[in-house]
Amino acid sequence: MNASAWHMLLEGAWTTLWISAVSIAIGVIAGLVIALIRLARIPIVDQLLVLYISVARATPLVTLALFIFLSAPDLGLDLNRSVAGILALSLNTTAFNAEIWRSAFRNFSREQSEAAMATGMTPWITFRRIMLPQMVITSLPGLVNEMSFLIKGSPAIAVIGIVDLTRVTNRISAVTYEPLPPILVAGALYMAIIGCLVWLQRLAERRANRLAT
């Protein structure tokens, strides 16, 4: 491969990285909010959220990205490709993250929160200082696993014209008629991105274990 091909691959990797990072951040926070709302067990709201989670988890990313991008003009929305891609990825990962957070909430020991409030802590302080730190550690493997799936599924947004790493790989292969080199480089870049996520997860877990002891 020449220098131009390498430059294209790095640009594609950057596009994949920043779109995935924004979608992950939105998905983690929105998933936490949805989990908290579901714990309140408001009948109609809870049923709507269950419906959203079921549909978002069952809908392929390619279909979701196409639906958002093509239907936006009919709704009076002017979405560029990047925003539509982020929205599709975020809606998908939020649904999975919401269930991960909800599972962590349900498995949390009520005795700890009751003991904290017995000492005079408000529910908000109890949640922020006692519950949330422990649930982050409990949920971390599941959240990182979902982040990895999101990154590996992100090539689906190429269907709406986003020039991500996979789309660049296809373009280079079509021009050079040598598909193997760009595919190997793209695979290595995907592995590097996901490897960094796993490394950060292990770093956070080790630090949490040291603080716990």
For all residues of the chain together, what is the average pLDDT?
A: 88
- Which residue has better confidence, 135 or 54? 54
Distance, CA of 213 to chain centre: 31
**What does the pLDDT read at residue 136?**
84
**What does the pLDDT read at residue 128?**
77
Q: What CATH number does residue 108 fall under?
A: 1.10.3720.10
* pLDDT exceeds cutoff 60 at 147: yes
**What does the pLDDT read at residue 24?**
95
How many distinct structural domains can be found in the chain? 1
**Range of 207's domain?**
3-212
* pLDDT exceeds cutoff 70 at 16: yes
Q: What is the per-residue pLDDT across 77-125, written as a single tens digit (0 to 9) for each? A: 888 899 999 999 999 999 999 999 998 888 777 777 777 777 777 777 7
Cα separation of the two ends of the chain: 51
Residues 30-46: what's their mean pLDDT?
90
Q: What is the per-residue pLDDT across 153-187, written as a single tens digit (0 to 9) for each? A: 999 999 998 989 999 998 888 888 888 888 999 99
Integer Cα distance of 79 and 26 in angstroms: 17
**What does the pLDDT read at residue 212?**
52
